[in-house]
Amino acid sequence: MKNIILFDLGGTLAKYYEKAEFPDILKRAIVEVENYLAREGICRASLKEVWQRVKEEDQEAKDYSVRPLEDRLTRIFQLNRYDISVQLMDSISRCFMKPIFAIAKIYEDTFPILDRLRSYKYRQAIVSNTPWGSPSNLWREEIRRLGLSDYMEASFFCRDVGWRKPAKQIFDFVLEKLNALPQDCIFVGDDPRWDLAGPKTVGIEAIIINRKGKIQNAGDNIINNLYELINEIKRISHSI
């Protein structure tokens, strides 16, 4: 019986940015960190060197292992991790995330559907990658701020596991923590590259939300908005 609904976050439950918008957001994030380090009298790298290293760091590992934000910022700004306190690393991570969190917007269909799923006694959880391997604790604060944590049994981010979707490891981790079998779950996401291929590696059925009508070749399990989710779950599981 399908009784667990796993949700991606960005593009599924909340809007952050499109791929084409990220370079501008990345610039703002780096400037936030740069300004903070300058105020603290820590930044030693030249601007030219900083932006060259930003280009080098703006990529993910081909094997889907996580490249943590703190390590990237350490290399970009030539910080000595042994001289940097945990509190300072937390502060610069928060500076980096500030422009991203500032533009978050819950989709209008999110809370009505989460309410309905809760009324049907479905277990719900978030399973998401994070931009630039940003820390899970900041994202858990974010979902509390957005009001999503009230609906979720748990939230799982790539930093919890060390692997990004679609890597099998993150889905194995989720199943173990939820004490669930693949056949218990349905995954709902917006990007077939991560949210269709990933769940399939462990036998979890996936539904792709096609909010902009641009997704093709995502199979039969495709919806245009979350209002269509209940009927799609019924079609797949034949049980509500």
How does residue 240 score in pLDDT terms, banded at 50, 70 and 90? very low
Residue 183: pLDDT over 60: yes
How confident is the model over 198-225, as a mean pLDDT?
87
pLDDT at res. 101? 98
pLDDT at res. 82? 63
**Which amino acid appears at position 37 of this protein?**
L
Cα torsion 153, 211, 107, 174 to 10°: value is: 10
Q: Is the pTM of this model over 0.75?
A: yes
Residue 201: pLDDT over 90: yes
Mean pLDDT computed over every residue of the chain = 93
For residue 154, what are the β-bridge partners?
125
pLDDT single digits (tens) 7-22: 999 999 999 999 899 9
Residue 94: pLDDT over 70: yes
Size of the chain, expressed as the number of residues it contains = 240
Instruction: Report how far residue 24's alpha carbon sits from residue 126's, in angstroms, rounded to the nearest whole number.
Output: 27
Residue 53: pLDDT over 80: yes
